[in-house]
Structure 1
Amino acid sequence: MPRFFVDTPLAATAGDIALPAGAARHVQVLRLQPGDALTLFDGSGPEWQAEVTAMGRSEVRVRLIASEQPQRELARSVTLAVVMPANDRMDFLVEKATELGAAAVQPLMSERSVLRLNGERADKKRAHWQGVAIAAAEQSGRTVPTRVEPVMTLGAWLAALNDGGGEWRGLLSPRAASPLTAFPQQRALFLSGPEGGLSDAEEDAARARGFAPITLGPRVLRADTAPLAVLSWLALS
């Protein structure tokens, strides 16, 4: 059954409603007809079974039938703080992180960053990545898309972190000796560097904020592979 994200609070609506423009375009592309079933979600957790009631050139109307609360999220709330990889690899990372259940992705810039974003360009990229996360949530069955945070420098982000009470923090480092092992906390934050890795000073700064260095094995993983490997391990553990 087709699934669509809508940026309208569905719990506050009733009966026949007009779909927002984005969702309406998807319904039109699929050539759904009145009476056809679809699933809607607004990012708050539940999803709604609905059916198309009217198709127009500029408007699609649906009727909400019933809501349910599927359990498809990870047992832990996991945030991936990643120094943005170059080219289109950040798109891939956000898409797969959403499929694997990440609660949030924090894009960062560090000393060795290839991709650097500021101002309006950073805002546009963030909006684009949020769209990637929404599309991945529609495809994968998630009802809460991964949240993409504003782009920040690593230094500013570390300085803004709280004391981490109740949160497990891991630093993915090729220089670390300890592997990732089970931990009891229900919230986790993982920091991963760019193509050239974090500098010694940046790793020291992360450790000072409570990040435990961990290794993912003897092979060197790409900047867009390492955080996804951690997320896969957590999803299956």
Structure 2
Amino acid sequence: MPRFHCPLPLAAGAQIALPPTAARHVQVLRLQPGDALTLFNGEGGEWSATVARMGRSDVEVTVGTHAAVEREAARAVHLAVGMPANERMDWLVEKATELGAASIQPIAAARSVLKLSGERAARRQQHWQAIAVAACEQCGRNRVPPVAAPLALSDWLRQGGQPEGTRLLLSLRQGSRPLREAAGDAGPVWVLHGPEGGLTEQEEGAAVARGFAPASLGARVLRAETASVAALAVLGLA
């Protein structure tokens, strides 16, 4: 059954106009009055609904019953990712959402190819958030992970706004513990990793000074986007 993100107050029996993006998708799918669909607004669970009216550019639906369905990972894994360039960041956001990332913080580091600021950064954040929404519609998640505004690594570390929990730095440095072992068995986890070329020695040192413990995914050197999904597979699907 088609699923659509509808960030509006939902209640059984209400007749509402879908937001423009969802309405456009309903029209592309050629749904008709009486056809069933599923809505979620990010506040938990999902709602059955039926198409009530199809306009030229708008769609109205009648909201049905609420189902308290949650498909979140058992453990909250937050990502702070050195932004890979080109379409790789889009791919990273999509796959990280599917694998259950609790939030995504794009990071600019010394070796970053992609550098964003001002209006361009705001546009990319909106673009990535839309990718996360679409991934939730596809994979069945009812809570959309927030994709934060891009920040320089030094600014992000200085702000210290990370939630409480285990802080891990993906690193190839000698003595790094295996990721699963370093993460322990419970509680939220922040996983930080660099962009193409990794973090510099100074950046890794700054992260360690902020409480990030070096952890390893093994001896192979993974691409920036691969490291994120590998970490989520190790921690989020366990």
Query: If the length of structure 1 is used for normalisation, what is the TM-score?
Result: 0.95
Residue 187 of structure 2: aligned partner:
186
Partner letter of residue 158 of structure 1? L
Partner letter of residue 233 of structure 1? V
| 1:55 maps onto 2:40 in alignment | no
> How far has the Cα of 1:56 moved from its partner?
1.2
Residue 4 of structure 1: aligned partner:
4
Distance in 2, matches of 1:210 and 1:191, equals 11
Residue 211 of structure 2: aligned partner:
210
Residue 37 of structure 2: aligned partner:
38
> How far has the Cα of 1:162 moved from its partner?
4.8
Partner letter of residue 110 of structure 1? A
Distance in 1, matches of 2:187 and 2:6, equals 28
Distance in 2, matches of 1:163 and 1:39, equals 33
Residue 125 of structure 1: aligned partner:
124
Across the two proteins, how many residue pairs are aligned to each other? 235
Greater Cα offset, 202-211 or 154-163 = 154-163
Residue 173 of structure 2: aligned partner:
175
Distance 1:164 1:30, change over 3 A: closer
Q: Give me the identity figure in percent.
A: 56
Residue 28 of structure 1: aligned partner:
27
Per-residue CA shift, 1:9-55, capped at 9, x if unaligned? 225x7521111111111101101011100000111112100001111
Distance in 1, matches of 2:218 and 2:9, equals 44
Distance in 2, matches of 1:124 and 1:14, equals 36
> How far has the Cα of 1:164 moved from its partner?
5.9
Contact 1:176/1:215, CA 8 A, preserved across alignment: no
Contact 1:164/1:210, CA 8 A, preserved across alignment: no
Contact 2:45/2:70, CA 8 A, preserved across alignment: no
Greater Cα offset, 21-30 or 173-182 = 173-182
Residue 142 of structure 2: aligned partner:
143
Residue 219 of structure 1: aligned partner:
220
Contact 1:163/1:209, CA 8 A, preserved across alignment: no
Distance in 2, matches of 1:212 and 1:93, equals 23
> How far has the Cα of 1:108 moved from its partner?
0.6
Per-residue CA shift, 1:78-102, capped at 9, x if unaligned? 1100010011100000000000000
Partner letter of residue 175 of structure 1? R
> How far has the Cα of 1:203 moved from its partner?
0.5
Distance 1:196 1:207, change over 3 A: same
Partner letter of residue 105 of structure 1? I
Partner letter of residue 9 of structure 1? P
Per-residue CA shift, 1:167-220, capped at 9, x if unaligned? 011100121431111513421100010111111111011001111101111111
- Structure 1: gaps spanning 5 or more residues: none
Distance in 2, matches of 1:85 and 1:18, equals 37
Distance in 2, matches of 1:18 and 1:132, equals 22
Greater Cα offset, 150-159 or 227-236 = 227-236
Aligned partner of residue 129 in structure 1, secondary structure: helix
Distance 1:20 1:96, change over 3 A: same
Contact 2:36/2:51, CA 8 A, preserved across alignment: yes
| 1:88 maps onto 2:87 in alignment | yes
Residue 233 of structure 2: aligned partner:
232
Residue 151 of structure 2: aligned partner:
152
Distance in 2, matches of 1:147 and 1:111, equals 24
Partner letter of residue 28 of structure 1? Q
